Structure 1
Amino acid sequence: MPTVELDRPLGVRSVTHERAGSIGPRDEILEAEPMSYTILLPSSRRSAVRPSGRRRGFSMVELLTVLTIIGITTAIAFPKLRAAGQDADVRAAESALVASVSRTRAAAIQRGQPARLYFGGNQAWTAVVAANGDTTHVGSPTNLAGLFQVTAVVTPAENDYVQFDARGVGVPAAGAQGSAVRVDLTRSAGHAGRFCVTRYGRVLRGAVLAACGG
């Protein structure tokens, strides 16, 4: 810690002088003697800031190198990401249609009337069928083209709907050939899906598609 020396009030000391030829007591003369003491001052807590010699940021060469690597990686990964996205669209459309089949069966059982799941214009919608043949739509249609950019083709061609009776049992449509309805979904070349609904309303997917001519 720094120190400061300050003069203290004058001290006094005794100085004896002997005069020549003096026999009596010696004369004492008081002389002032300066005295000093030290005061300690607190040192500053703020340390000196030393400029850093380390460089901050990136050079232009480093930035260009990073951007080049990002560009190459994106160019390689983009086709794979696009293909994966199209496959995901097909799977999502398939899941939506399978859910629509379940809702159509449930509507037939709840209302005690036959119900159909229609396919047309890349849409699917549910309708219940009255005794006189009139149909009433139930719920909102599933827009395959708008939601998933997917087209749907039903086989046999003359069978554009899946039908369930009042018990929820699947029945073939009038004029349909065979006992199952197959639905082919296409997003683009190489990105397609397929499922079918058997006569009894069972949905087949994957390896078991052979049961409906898949």
Structure 2
Amino acid sequence: MSLFSWLRPAQPSLPDALQQRLADLPSAAALGECSLREQRWVVLDLETTGLNLNKDQVLSIGAVAIEDGAIDFGQQFERTLQCDKQKLGPSVLIHGLAPSTIAAGSEPAEALLAFMEYVGDSPLLAFHSPFDAHMLGRALKDHLGYRLQHPFLDVADLAPMLCPQVALRQAGLDDWIDAFKLQVQERHNASADALATAELALILFSRARQQQIPSPLALQQRLGQWKRRQQAPSI
């Protein structure tokens, strides 16, 4: 045994059936030069016990797929995860998940594995994606020993980059919904927020094509350049 092996986190123990499904997951694909319309995207939203990146837990996952340039309502994902070991915080007042609903949810490892099977090798989109990427990545590591490597683009950055004339900076999802007059029937649960984010993403993809950004790779590169300019000190 290595002298430092005790420093490594213990791998979760999974039933053989889950281990096999985990082994069968496809590798994440880098963003390529296909058209934005040809790329399958998975748009997700998480509800969590709170906003602490290191302590809070994922309570539910909602996701929709964008395929062939449209939201595929036949490809929706929604799952509530069991969370009976941690006291629920004030976030329950926002997402409305009752303790009884959470207690009756899916076992986390199974739910997370089912989600990654749904994702496949597709890139991910979310509004304020660093939070979702961190929380999802930590949950996958804790419950499955799986390292999330999928490309993750932030719709909260894409929107001001592609639509500077809207004059919204550091705006929330509701602000962009209002700006584009999207008809959103429900908010503040994972599935509804994922759907609203997907509708916004389709508008942004259209703006990207108008700005001669033809592919997912080009969009990722343009976003990186834009973020570096935003972070550069003003002279």
Higher Rg of the two aligned structures? 1
Q: Which has the higher strand share?
A: 1
Greater RCO (CA < 8 Å, at least 6 residues apart): 2
The normalised TM-score by structure 1 is: 0.22
Q: Which has the higher helix share?
A: 2
The normalised TM-score by structure 2 is: 0.21
